[in-house]
Amino acid sequence: MDGEGNWVSNGTHLQHSCAQKPLTEHLPFLWRGHKLELLGARAVWDPTQRLLLVADLHLGKAESFQAHGVPLPSDGDASTLNALIALAHRWQPAEVVVLGDLIHGRLGLTGELRQKIQALPELLGCPLTLIAGNHERGSWLEGLVQQPSSRRGPLWLSHGPEPLPVGGGELLQLCGHLHPVATVGDRSDRLRLPCFVHDAEAQRLVLPAFGKLTGGHPCEEHHQRWLVADGAIVAWLRPLPPERAPHHRG
């Protein structure tokens, strides 16, 4: 841990590669008059309630794989934890909410990781709330109560997609679990990027996985998406196929 309270890693930080135009680090999302900010750092900022929301850190994933004999390299989750601490220092939230899967599983929940999780609220400078995810099942985290899905103002916070509560037709569900990614490019040159996904019909906004060691799953192309990469965010819609010229029979 360095002098600023960060866990030190030997990893390098990616630099913005699109120097020809300015990159945006956050974009507004308006839900019935309630403004949210979608962050290129894979988080959501609620300025009204001063909530910083992330999902799917999967701390201890490398250690879980190592316990099964898979030699997956690890930096002790330093990059993921440092990123979360940096976000909290920048936005100064009243509370940080993890929408499930803070950890990957019991096998990766080492004594060192338990100490880091215990120290998180102090390093974040605010309370840390965990909405219980499927990877936390059966694990006890000292000083961190696993809470069920709950309402915060006009938001319904859950780990994964689920029906809104009775009488909650005006709510926007924020969740994770799906690790959404979108594919950009063509057959010869493709790139998969994490993304936010808005399902307007279900009144649901899915967050990308925050963890640095997480996979991804393709999302529905007809949903609105925002791609994130190296701290930047951009709204993206897949272009429609060109119209075919009318066929005239001779």
- The reported pLDDT for the residue numbered 189 is 73
CB 146 within 8 A of CB 132: yes
CA distance 225 to 206: 10
Please report which residue ranges of the chain form alpha helices under DSSP H. Answer: 61-67, 78-91, 111-124
> Where residue 244 falls among pLDDT bands split at 50, 70, 90?
very low
SS3 235: strand
> Where residue 14 falls among pLDDT bands split at 50, 70, 90?
very low
pLDDT tens digits for 64-73? 655 556 566 6
CA distance 217 to 229: 16
Residue 243 carries which side chain, given as an amino acid letter? E
Q: 40: closest CA among 229, 236, 206, 237?
A: 229
- The reported pLDDT for the residue numbered 222 is 81
Q: Look at residue 183 and tell me whether its pLDDT is greater than 50.
A: yes
**Fold of the CATH domain 26-236:** Purple Acid Phosphatase; chain A, domain 2 (3.60.21)
pLDDT tens digits for 39-91? 999 999 999 999 999 999 989 865 665 555 656 667 768 889 999 999 999 99
- The reported pLDDT for the residue numbered 76 is 61
pLDDT tens digits for 91-121? 999 999 999 899 866 666 787 888 898 999 9
- The reported pLDDT for the residue numbered 96 is 97
- The reported pLDDT for the residue numbered 237 is 64
pLDDT tens digits for 135-167? 566 566 666 778 899 999 999 999 999 999 999
pLDDT tens digits for 198-237? 999 999 999 999 998 667 777 777 899 999 999 999 998 6
pTM for the structure as a whole: 0.82
